[in-house]
Structure 1
Amino acid sequence: MNAPIGEAEDGPPVVPALSVIVPTLNELTNIEPTVAELDRALRGIAWEVVFVDDDSRDGTPEAVTALALRDPRVRLLRRLGRRGLASACIDGVLATTTPAFVVMDADLQHDPDLIPLLLRALDTVDLAIGSRYVAGGDGTALGARRGVASRIATLLSRLILRQPVSDPMSGFFAMRRAQFDEVAPRLSGIGFKILLDILVSAKTPLKVAELPFRFRPRHAGDSKLSAGIAAEYLLLLVEKLCAGIVPARYLLFSAVGGIGLMVHLAVLAVAVDWRLPFALAQALATWVAMTNNFFLNNFLTYADQRRRGWNVVTGLASFYVICSIGAIANVGIANAIYTHWSVWWQAGLAGALVGSVWNYAVSAIYTWRR
């Protein structure tokens, strides 16, 4: 049995016993209400809150900073050039020294009144989860679209889970730091589902308790659910299914390359039909496919390092330049094969395959480097 979580006397705590990790991205109007609710719910517990901000542009980091100047329990960890709830949670926990931590959202859909119960559960388990799907829980505030997505994600999680957990998609849980430190080196940090990552990455199944809670309506802000987030979730599933042997990002990059190959052949077919010289047709198809691959990879494969604004232009330029060697080999080999056999699709396929490995290697190092 674990030792109980420490408590503090009334008054400002000197040494916190609990860290509340709150990832943020454009949550300006939620910062002060979140701290106020924590202050109300955690009376008698020595706590701190760490807002891990992914370079919000709405004034969120400035609001946290201003609040931290008035309340020493408030801390800010600001990340530049990085995105993703899972990696934000990992960075937030590693920036603390408390024996226990809680992860929760900044939109007040997670009720801080459950935190003392989660901490109490840690007396006998490794991980205490706020669940929407056990008896007494309620996830209707998710709405129809997010509710369906959550249920589908939960079903898919069974492909990699080694223990029955009703709500592995929950973003509201408590854990002891000692158990987290044991799991941390094996975490993928991909996407938005850090709890699932923790459950699957543990060497042996963790002792888990699930406590029911009512998922509340969003206080302010917008849902971050998107196609990119769904792709990151699938990326996490694939990496865990492969036991980390094959990097999931490489697999997704290859899938994008497969789409690019179809685009390449489609453009080449049209260009050949227009009676363009084959070398010119192959070059045109290569350029279109390369552009397609950059934007798909920027949106899906490297969603956590996505280039935005002017950086999209510079990233695309670097992608063109770096991949030019592969493109030259692509066109040269394809043209040589077409000259000998005059079968356009075979020549196009061979040329496209030549540059694929090169494109992945150099783009990972240069185009999407952190």
Structure 2
Amino acid sequence: MKSRVSIVLPTYNERGNIEPLLQQLLPLQHRYNLEILVVDDDSADGTAELVRQLAHAEPRLRLIRRVGRSGLASAIKEGLLDATGDLALVMDSDGQHEPASVQRALDTLLAGDLELVVGSRFHSEAEIVGLSGRRQRGSSWANAAARFSLPRPYSQLSDYMSGFFALRLEPLLPLIRAVDVNGFKFLYELLAVSQGRLRVTEVPLSFQPRSYGSSKLDLAIFWDFLISILHSLSLRVLPRRAISFGLVGFSGVAVQLLVTQLLMLAGFGFEQALPVAVVAAASSNYLINNALTFRFQRLTGLALLRGLVKFLLVASLPVLANVGLASAYYSLVAPDTLWAQLAGILVVFVWNYAASSRFVWNTP
């Protein structure tokens, strides 16, 4: 009897890559009871329209088109939760993962007492063609940080950042549901929430150059990775957004201290410079949080300006507390501008995080 296998392909602007990939995957129907799910984040290049057209002639192909929600990890999670196979395999849709690796990963999963098989670019037998030296160095650094932050049973793995993995679906569904979709990589988050309990091995990948389109790697992806590492090191107690908000807050501290110093050098007194510096820091925090912490609810255009006004209004009470406490510390305790400002900044963090999450970006 054929094993039931679901292949999940997250896509965003992959029209030039998806049809050749599907043509290479569909022959697997002769070996497995096959289902292919393309989870598209409302691509602007016609990816979803092409897949819909192909699905008219191919009943094993399903399209999940996501409108108003996005992100690689959430696309993978949605695809896995919608899958009907006993086994599921996730792979990139950009042509860099060779379809020939699919059968090897699935056969390895079926042959052993395993729950997860990871396709590794850094396995001793892997072949890396489509990864630049710079990307290889970055991935090696990221894998070292991931190894340090994950449970010890996973220390033998070599590619925690892989977008290629196969798993037994039914026993892992509770863990899949628990994965934080704001995380950096779905595989990393799955390993983190499993707390070292999964039976896992790796198979080598032949990593190919991208045929069409461009890489989705950007500053926001790097930021997500940093937050994921800190989230794991905190034993997943601190909320991801709170960690991100706090890191952005440190940049606001630097802005406030710098603006205060510049204004005082220009001849302003501390009490006159401080309110301007606090507003500058709050505005900087708002713009960075909009770009990184709340990027999936990112505000643009007039909404960005309205959001800034809301953010400053929400922050006005703690801003007054910041200025008042810092001024009192400077006047009554010690004329130390650094510690005076840090005392005020400490008061405002929790309020700004909770209130702005709810009233500016409409998240709980």
Q: TM-score of the superposition, structure 2-length normalised?
A: 0.88
Relative to structure 1, the CA distance from residue 47 to residue 321 in structure 2 (aligned partners, 3 Å threshold; closer, same or farther) is farther
Q: In the TM superposition, what whole-angstrom CA distance separates every residue of 1:284-314 from its partner, at most 9, and x where no partner exists?
A: 1112101211222223323444444554334
Q: How many Å apart are 1:61 and its aligned residue? A: 2.8
Q: In the TM superposition, what whole-angstrom CA distance separates every residue of 1:194-246 from its partner, at most 9, and x where no partner exists?
A: 11222232244322232222101112111111222112112111111221122
> Is residue 135 of structure 1 aligned with residue 127 of structure 2?
no
C-alpha separation in 2, matches of 1:369 and 1:80: 18
Secondary structure of residue in 2 paired with 1:49: strand
Deviates more, 1:250-259 or 1:34-43: 34-43
Q: In the TM superposition, what whole-angstrom CA distance separates every residue of 1:154-208 from its partner, at most 9, and x where no partner exists?
A: 1112111422112222111111112321322442333342112222322443222
Q: In the TM superposition, what whole-angstrom CA distance separates every residue of 1:118-143 from its partner, at most 9, and x where no partner exists?
A: 22222221112222222321123211
> Is residue 27 of structure 1 aligned with residue 14 of structure 2?
yes
Task: Provide structure 1 residue ranges, at least 5 long, that are not aligned to the other structure.
Answer: 8-16
Q: How many Å apart are 1:277 and its aligned residue? A: 5.7
C-alpha separation in 1, matches of 2:184 and 2:65: 18
Q: Is the 8 A contact 1:82 1:305 kept in 2?
A: no
Partner in structure 2 of residue 232 of structure 1: 224
Partner in structure 1 of residue 143 of structure 2: 154
Q: How does 1:1-370 map to 2 (within 5 A)?
A: 6-7=2-3, 17-123=4-110, 124=112, 125-159=114-148, 160-162=150-152, 163=154, 164-276=156-268, 278-308=270-300, 311-340=303-332, 343-369=336-362
Deviates more, 1:54-63 or 1:207-216: 54-63
C-alpha separation in 2, matches of 1:284 and 1:323: 14
Q: How many Å apart are 1:368 and its aligned residue? A: 2.8
Aligned length, in residue pairs: 357
Q: Is the 8 A contact 1:235 1:248 kept in 2?
A: yes
Q: Is the 8 A contact 1:322 1:362 kept in 2?
A: yes
Partner in structure 2 of residue 11 of structure 1: none
Q: How many Å apart are 1:340 and its aligned residue? A: 4.3
Aligned AA (1:259) = S
Aligned AA (2:355) = V
Task: Provide structure 2 residue ranges, at least 5 long, that are not aligned to the other structure.
Answer: none
Relative to structure 1, the CA distance from residue 346 to residue 206 in structure 2 (aligned partners, 3 Å threshold; closer, same or farther) is closer
Q: How many Å apart are 1:68 and its aligned residue? A: 3.0
Q: Is the 8 A contact 1:83 1:303 kept in 2?
A: no
C-alpha separation in 2, matches of 1:363 and 1:65: 40
Q: How many Å apart are 1:101 and its aligned residue? A: 0.9
Secondary structure of residue in 2 paired with 1:223: coil
Identity level (%)? 37
Q: How many Å apart are 1:42 and its aligned residue? A: 4.2
Aligned AA (1:191) = G
Secondary structure of residue in 2 paired with 1:239: helix
Aligned AA (1:130) = G
Q: Is the 8 A contact 1:85 1:191 kept in 2?
A: no
C-alpha separation in 1, matches of 2:282 and 2:31: 58
Q: Is the 8 A contact 2:184 2:228 kept in 1?
A: no
Relative to structure 1, the CA distance from residue 300 to residue 333 in structure 2 (aligned partners, 3 Å threshold; closer, same or farther) is same
Q: How many Å apart are 1:40 and its aligned residue? A: 3.3
C-alpha separation in 2, matches of 1:91 and 1:318: 33
Partner in structure 2 of residue 10 of structure 1: none
Q: How many Å apart are 1:78 and its aligned residue? A: 3.0
Aligned AA (1:332) = G
Q: Is the 8 A contact 1:42 1:116 kept in 2?
A: no
C-alpha separation in 2, matches of 1:311 and 1:99: 45
Q: Is the 8 A contact 1:25 1:56 kept in 2?
A: yes
Q: Is the 8 A contact 2:40 2:48 kept in 1?
A: yes
Partner in structure 2 of residue 13 of structure 1: none
Relative to structure 1, the CA distance from residue 161 to residue 204 in structure 2 (aligned partners, 3 Å threshold; closer, same or farther) is closer
Aligned AA (1:274) = A
Aligned AA (1:21) = V
Partner in structure 2 of residue 12 of structure 1: none
